[in-house]
């Protein structure tokens, strides 16, 4: 691996990272999710800088493990992962491709995170102010069932036309 020049080594690492799926939303990669903030080439190996999505996200350790294993398998090791808390991760960092893949997977992608700053003291029971389009049939005749879903980052919704449940990646 000594023959690999620094810049191409970093580029190769990014290509590998783009293939590592998020363990809880496997439709998108960790890069599309926006949690890989930097790849640095040091004398003693690569440093992958990660910013966690949620304080208590149980996937954080799994992601670190998956990333390091993928780099190792691609012959780019040794590599280590470090945590960068600030600035805090925001759903605005999910890439355009990532959003398209989420939608195709049945998860409505988040709107701008600034929306979440507007105090919504009470969530309207029938979604009148936030009418999400059903990811399956496109109907806006939908309602929120719960503020949290299979993970903290998602809310549970249902479509009142096609009657299918779906998830919404909440802006954060």
Which parts of this chain interact with another protein (CB under 8 A)? Answer: 52, 54-58, 85-90, 116, 120-123, 145-152, 156, 170, 172
- For the chain, what is the total number of helices (H) and then of strands (E)? 4, 7
Nearer to another protein, 76 or 166 (CB): 166
SS3 content of the chain, % helix, strand, coil (to 5): 30, 20, 50
CB of 161 vs another protein, minimal distance in Å: 21
Identify which of residues 12 and 36 has a Cβ nearer to another protein in the complex.
Answer: 36
Minimum gap (Å) between residue 145 Cβ and another protein: 6
Q: Give the residue with the Cβ less far from another protein, 54 or 105.
A: 54
Cβ contact 142:127 at 8 Å: yes
CB of 147 to another protein, least distance (A): 5
Which CB sits closer to another protein, 2 or 122? 122
3-state secondary structure 64-83: HHHHHHHHHHCCCCCEEEEE
Distance CA 107, CA 25 (A): 9
Please report how close the Cβ of residue 89 comes to another protein at its closest, in angstroms.
7
In angstroms, rounded to a whole number, what is the distance separating the alpha carbons of residues 54 and 8? 32
């Amino acid at each position: 691996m000594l023959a690999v020049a620094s810049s191409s080594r970093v580029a190769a690492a990014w290509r590998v990272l783009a293939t590592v799926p998020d363990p809880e939303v496997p439709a998108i990669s960790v890069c599309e999710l926006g949690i890989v903030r930097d790849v640095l080439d040091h004398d003693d190996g690569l440093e992958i800088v990660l910013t966690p999505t949620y304080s208590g996200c149980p996937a954080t350790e799994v992601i670190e493990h998956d990333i390091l294993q993928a780099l190792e398998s691609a012959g780019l090791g040794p590599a280590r992962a470090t945590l960068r808390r600030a600035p805090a991760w925001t759903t605005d960092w999910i890439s355009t491709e990532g959003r398209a893949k989420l939608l195709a997977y049945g998860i409505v992608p988040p709107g701008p995170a600034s929306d979440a700053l507007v105090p919504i003291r009470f969530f309207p029971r029938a979604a009148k102010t936030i009418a999400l389009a059903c990811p399956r049939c496109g109907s806006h005749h939908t309602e929120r069932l719960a503020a949290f879903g299979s993970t903290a980052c998602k809310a549970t919704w249902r479509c009142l036309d096609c009657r299918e449940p779906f998830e919404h990646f909440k802006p954060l």
